[in-house]
Structure 1
Amino acid sequence: MAGVITASEPSWIGPFTGLSPRLFGKLVTALRREGADPVRKGRPWSLPLEDRVLLVAAYWRTNLTMRQLAPLFGISKSAADRIIDQLGPSLALQPRKRFAKDTVLIVDGTLVPTRDHTTAEQSKNYRYSTNHQVVIDADTRLVVVVGRPLPGNRNDCKAWEESGAKAAVGTTMTIADGGYPGTGLVMPHRRCKGEELPDWKQAHNKSHKQVRARVEHVFARMKTWKILRDCRLRGDGVHHAMLGIARMHNLTLAG
């Protein structure tokens, strides 16, 4: 069965990956170098690596079911499922391990509606969700760390440590909103009851809010991937999707 969508036709790459054909080729080359396309015993993959990467990206971008997506690539539903399970983890962003002394980071949590109730809990959006702590570089807006997903009812100050994000950034200066009390992060000044903030604190809060908004802009771009609006993946699938989307976000920004 012939497929409709293929990476050999460059016009399909942009809509599903957000990457130019040049950057897509760079991603595929990196995946080969990282061992994402090993020689397979027995039956070979029904699609080349380029098309498999495009299939995973198309699934994350559109959130189509396997029954809907597989015919577009000319393969069976079970083959599409195997490709996503095998290649999804390989696309994951690797956390940055070292930071320059003057680096400033921004952290915030985002909720991803997740149908796997073994990893999700009902949260403030009244849906079963997972909490993802995302850390970006304040200067470049690149994602540097994505913590492991936690149940959506976990507040950010606890998720910051339990997700592994705190350990990943170490002592690097990190900005956060008011939902991280007691964490040592740089947060806005709070007004005491019956008192007004002095002008210098108000000015500081204003600049803090403007810088912190950069992580919200990153979330807005990442949430254009529909898998992050209603994730049907089980187990670590939602984590792999978040990391893979973060990697492609970084590729798009870095050019």
Structure 2
Amino acid sequence: MLVLFLLRQNPVQQAAAELFGVSQATVSRRWTALLPVVEKVLAGHVPDPAEVSAGRIVLVDGTLVTTWDWASEGTGLFSGKNRDTGFNLQVAATHAGDLPAVSAPVPGSRHDIHAWRQSTFPEAFAEREGIGDLGYTGSGLITPRRKPPGRKRSAGDKAANRSVRIFSAASPG
């Protein structure tokens, strides 16, 4: 139960130790010993992202999962956009709110398009339409249209952007 609690709630080990009435060292030992077992058991229950999203449009975005700055020099964890350290995770969701996939982490300094290309998402969602923000321009996802340098957006670009925004922000069902 301790390992599942750590996975679900992500507390610091000292807080988990106090809650479960054990030492932090015991929490660490249990985590190290049991996490591989839990991963092995759960691996058989992870659905295929392509199957879960079949016939649906997929909404994709990246998020920075913050981490403690162990040694920011040279780790690539510092995200200039977010002004914090962490890992970039790509998250795919259907309009109905299903979460078919979360990517493996890449350093937080990497842009969303890089994290997209490093993930399994391009192959997993190749057979369906996907929507992303401007960070996914050139990925094959439907993205808003950028404002041309030194010019105003055309009426067609504004209408296209409005459609993307409305669809990706609309509440399901």
Q: TM class, shorter-chain normalised?
A: 0.7 to 0.9
Written as runs of structure 1 = structure 2, the 5 A alignment for 1:133-152 is 133-138=90-95, 140-152=96-108
> Which residue is equivalent to 1:53?
4
**Structure 1: which 5+ residue stretches go unaligned?**
1-48, 218-255
Q: Percent identity?
A: 30
**Structure 2: which 5+ residue stretches go unaligned?**
none
- Kept after mapping to 2: 8 A contact 1:107/1:175: yes
- Kept after mapping to 2: 8 A contact 1:120/1:150: no
Classify 1:81/1:132 alpha carbon distance in 2 versus 1 (closer, same or farther; 3 Å).
same
Matches of 2:79 and 2:6, distance apart in 1 = 31
> TM-score, length-normalised on structure 2?
0.75
Query: Could you give the per-residue CA deviations for residues 23-51 of structure 1, whole angstroms, max 9, x where no partner exists?
Result: xxxxxxxxxxxxxxxxxxxxxxxxxx4x6
Give the superposition deviation at 1:52: 4.8
Count of residues in Structure 1 that have an aligned counterpart in Structure 2: 160
Classify 1:152/1:54 alpha carbon distance in 2 versus 1 (closer, same or farther; 3 Å).
closer
Give the superposition deviation at 1:110: 0.5
Root mean square deviation, CA, Å: 2.9
SS state of the match for residue 101, structure 2?
A: strand
- Kept after mapping to 2: 8 A contact 1:107/1:133: yes
Matches of 1:119 and 1:149, distance apart in 2 = 13
> TM-score, length-normalised on structure 1?
0.53
Of 119, 133, 137, the match for 1:181: 137
Give, as a single letter, the amino acid of the residue that structure 1 aligns with 2:166: Q
SS state of the match for residue 143, structure 1?
A: coil
Matches of 1:151 and 1:104, distance apart in 2 = 27
Written as runs of structure 1 = structure 2, the 5 A alignment for 1:111-150 is 111-115=64-68, 120-124=76-80, 125-138=82-95, 140-150=96-106
Matched, 1:100 2:54: yes
Give, as a single letter, the amino acid of the residue that structure 2 aligns with 1:191: K
Give the superposition deviation at 1:203: 2.6
